[in-house]
Structure 1
Amino acid sequence: MWGSRRNRGKTVVCIACGDAVVRSAAREYDKEGNRWERNGKSFEHLCKACHRDLCHQPRNELETLLVEIDAGVVEQEAFFTRYETAVRNRYGPLEEREG
């Protein structure tokens, strides 16, 4: 309810902007998308401003897809080409949707 005493005053680094913030002023980030399942996990953190800027839509399969296409390893142009191809293969052609 009040949080762990060992985390009071501890600082963490925001993975988005690199700022050091007090743990109580940060939000946990779980790349698996399920921060409630805590067993055996270590969490990264986001400052509140960066957390607000995130898209909070479900991201099922996203991490697996990014690993498969070597995100963060290949050049940006190759990444975009691989991403578009992978999404098209999994979900069909990319189309603009009418709002």
Structure 2
Amino acid sequence: MKQRAEAGDRLGYWRRNLRYVGALLGIWALVSYGAGIVFADALDTIRIPGTGFPLGFWFAQQGSIYVFVVLIFVYVFLMNRLDREFDVDERDEEGAA
């Protein structure tokens, strides 16, 4: 039977989780707000090869969405690793995934 995590372990787990969420949301904010709005004019001087679309327009319309989806997968990877590290992963007692 699994032992309950100590209070310090739970606090460490939660702090690391918040650090991951903050970093990933910061990246998403930089991409969506920075590349899509603030630096859009500078990025518009670059064209996406084969399409002719300005890069700033692409980030504003699609790029931030793609980055968000990638960040979801990164978060899942990081949290699975964190769960295993703190022994709170969702595997059953027999070790089956």
TM-score, length basis structure 1: 0.29
Where is the strand percentage greater, Structure 1 or Structure 2? 1
Where is the helix percentage greater, Structure 1 or Structure 2? 2
TM-score, length basis structure 2: 0.30
